[in-house]
Amino acid sequence: MSLRELPRVQQVAGEPRRRWFHDHEMDLVVWEDEDGAPIGFQLAYDKHRNEHSIEWRAGRGFTHYQVDDGEAAALSKETPFLYLDGAFQRDRVLAEFLAAAATLPTEVAGFVAARLREFEGRLK
């Protein structure tokens, strides 16, 4: 398990620049300010079991979602939906992230790990 950066990530007009890192079990999107410093992230984990996503944004804090991938039937592909899903298992998610983060840029890995360590089991 090792997160690798995807090239040519589509940017969204009016939003901060984003970078996307991917592996078999996780996806990480990091938003950056004009100087390239991380300012928020969304980490999807357990992608092939019971996918969830953690988002952290400055001024808003954490949001945790269960992901419905939109694949109810074998031959259908619908739009994924995110449903609020309460607190997450910080220690487990942090350990899995750190195991996958060895190839990430230091500032990205450090930013995400620091935010995850700040989570105290409560969501706003």
With H, G, I as helix, E, B as strand and everything else as coil, classify residue 92. Answer: helix
What's the pLDDT tens digit per position in 59-112? 888 988 888 766 555 555 556 666 666 778 899 999 999 999 999 999 999 999
Task: Determine the Cα–Cα distance for residues 53 and 64; give it in Å rounded to an integer.
Answer: 6
Q: How high does pLDDT run on average in the chain?
A: 87
Question: What was the pLDDT predicted at 66?
Answer: 86
Assign 58 a pLDDT band (cuts: 50, 70, 90).
Answer: confident
Distance CA 3, CA 27 (A): 8
Q: How many residues does the chain have?
A: 124
